[in-house]
Structure 1
Amino acid sequence: MASELKNPMVEMNKIEPGGIPALEFVPPQELLSGGMIYYHGWSSCKENQIFRASTMASHGWRVLVPDARNHGERGELNYDKQEIVAEHFFSVLINSVEEADFLLGHLEEKLGDSSPLAAAGHSMGGFTVSGILTADAGAKLASAVCVNGSGAWLKTVDMLLEEAARREGEEDSGDPEDFEVDVDKSGLEKHDPFHSSERLAGVPLLLLHGEDDSSVPLAAQRHFYEKALKVYRERGREKQLELEVYENLNHYYTTGMLARTISWLEERSQI
Structure 2
Amino acid sequence: MQRVRIKMEIIVRNKRIDDIPLLEVFRRDHNSKKPMIILYHGYLGRKESVLLQAYLFATNGFFVVVPDAYGHGERSSGQIVNLFTSITESVSEINKMIDHYRDSREADYTRVGLAGYSMGGCITFSYLTLKDKRIKAAVPVISTPDWVSIIENLRTGELLAEFKAQGIIKHESEVEEYLKVAKEIQPINHYEAMTDTPLLMLCGEKDNVTPPAGVKRLYEMLSSVFFDKNALKYSIYPEVGHGDTLEMNLELCEWMKRFV
Q: Please report the TM-score for the alignment, with normalisation by the length of structure 2.
A: 0.83
- Give 2:166's aligned residue: none
Selected match of 1:136 from 127, 131, 135: 131
Is 1:147 matched with 2:141? yes
- Give 1:239's aligned residue: 230
- Give 1:176's aligned residue: none
Q: SS of the residue aligned with 1:65?
A: strand
Alignment partners' CA distance in 1, 2:59 and 2:22: 18
Unaligned runs of 5+ in 2: 1-6, 162-171
Residue 18 of structure 1, CA deviation:
1.8
Q: SS of the residue aligned with 2:140?
A: strand
- Give 1:228's aligned residue: 222
Residue 22 of structure 1, CA deviation:
0.6
- Give 1:37's aligned residue: 38
One-letter code aligned to 2:21? P
- Identity percentage over the alignment? 26
One-letter code aligned to 1:120? A
Unaligned runs of 5+ in 1: 1-6, 79-83, 169-178
One-letter code aligned to 2:211? P
2:113–2:256 CA contact under 8 A, matched in 1: yes
- Give 2:205's aligned residue: 211
Alignment partners' CA distance in 2, 1:52 and 1:71: 18
Query: 1:192-218 CA deviation, whole Å, 9 max, x = no partner?
Result: 221111112421111010000021111
Query: 1:85-128 CA deviation, whole Å, 9 max, x = no partner?
Result: xx711111111111111112123442355x41100111101111
1:39–1:66 CA contact under 8 A, matched in 2: yes
- Shift of the 127–63 alpha-carbon distance from structure 1 to 2, 3 Å rule, reads same
- Shift of the 40–165 alpha-carbon distance from structure 1 to 2, 3 Å rule, reads closer
Query: 1:195-248 CA deviation, whole Å, 9 max, x = no partner?
Result: 11111242111101000002111112222222232331xx3x222110100001
One-letter code aligned to 1:73? E
Residue 143 of structure 1, CA deviation:
0.9
One-letter code aligned to 1:239? N
- Give 1:64's aligned residue: 65
Residue 167 of structure 1, CA deviation:
8.1
Is 1:123 matched with 2:118? yes
Residue 189 of structure 1, CA deviation:
4.8
Alignment partners' CA distance in 2, 1:166 and 1:66: 28
| Moved >3 Å (runs of 4+) | 161-168, 184-191
Alignment partners' CA distance in 2, 1:192 and 1:209: 18
Selected match of 1:202 from 196, 202, 214: 196
1:145–1:261 CA contact under 8 A, matched in 2: yes
- Shift of the 187–163 alpha-carbon distance from structure 1 to 2, 3 Å rule, reads closer
One-letter code aligned to 2:91? V
- Give 1:11's aligned residue: 11
2:149–2:210 CA contact under 8 A, matched in 1: no
Count of matched residue pairs: 241
Alignment partners' CA distance in 1, 2:63 and 2:103: 12
- Give the alignment's Cα RMSD to 1 decimal: 2.6
